[in-house]
A = this chain, B = another copy of it.
Amino acid sequence: METARGAAPTGQPRIPLSRERVLRAAMVLADRAGVESLTMRKLARELGVEAMSLYNHVANKDDILDGIVEIVFGEIELPASGTDWRAAMRLRAISTREALARHRWAVGLMESRMSPGPANVRLHDAMLGCLRQAGFSVEMAVHAYSVQDSYIYGFALQEKGFAGQKDRLPADEESLSGTLVRELPADEYPYIAEVVGGYVTGPDFQLADEFEFGLDLILDALEGLRGGD
Instruction: Tell me which residues across on chain B come within 8 A of A218, comparing CB atoms.
Output: 147, 217-218, 221
Are A147 and B114 in touch, CB under 8 angstroms?
A: no
Q: Is the CB of A168 within 8 A of B111?
A: no
How extensive is the interface on chain A, given as a class? 35 or more
Residues of B within 8 Å of A122, CB to CB, are 189
Task: Determine whether the beta carbon of B191 is less than 8 Å from that of A161.
Answer: no
Q: Are the C-beta atoms of A128 and B217 separated by less than 8 Å? A: no
By the criterion CB–CB under 8 Å, are B221 and A217 in contact? yes
Within 8 Å of chain B (Cβ to Cβ): is A90? no
If A150-B158, A217-B218 touch, whether A138 touches B194 (CB-CB below 8 Å) is yes
Q: Is A82 an interface residue (CB 8 A)?
A: no
A33 within 8 A of B: no
Contact A125 B180 (CB under 8 A): no
Residues of B within 8 A of A222 (CB): 217
Q: Which of the residues B124, B152, B225 comes within 8 Å of A192, measured between beta carbons?
A: B124
Q: In angstroms, how far is the closest chain B Cβ from the Cβ of A124?
A: 6
Q: Which of A23-31, A45-53, A195-203 makes up part of the contact surface?
A: A195-203
Whose C-beta in chain B lies nearest to the C-beta of A217? B221
**Contact: B198 with A138, CB < 8 Å?**
yes
Q: Cβ of A161: which chain B residues have Cβ within 8 Å of it? A: 111-113
Measuring CB to CB, which residues of chain A are less than 8 angstroms from any residue of chain B?
107-108, 111-116, 121-122, 124-125, 128-129, 132, 138-139, 141-143, 146-147, 149-155, 157-158, 160-162, 164-165, 168, 180-181, 184, 188-192, 194-195, 198-200, 210, 213-214, 217-218, 220-222, 225
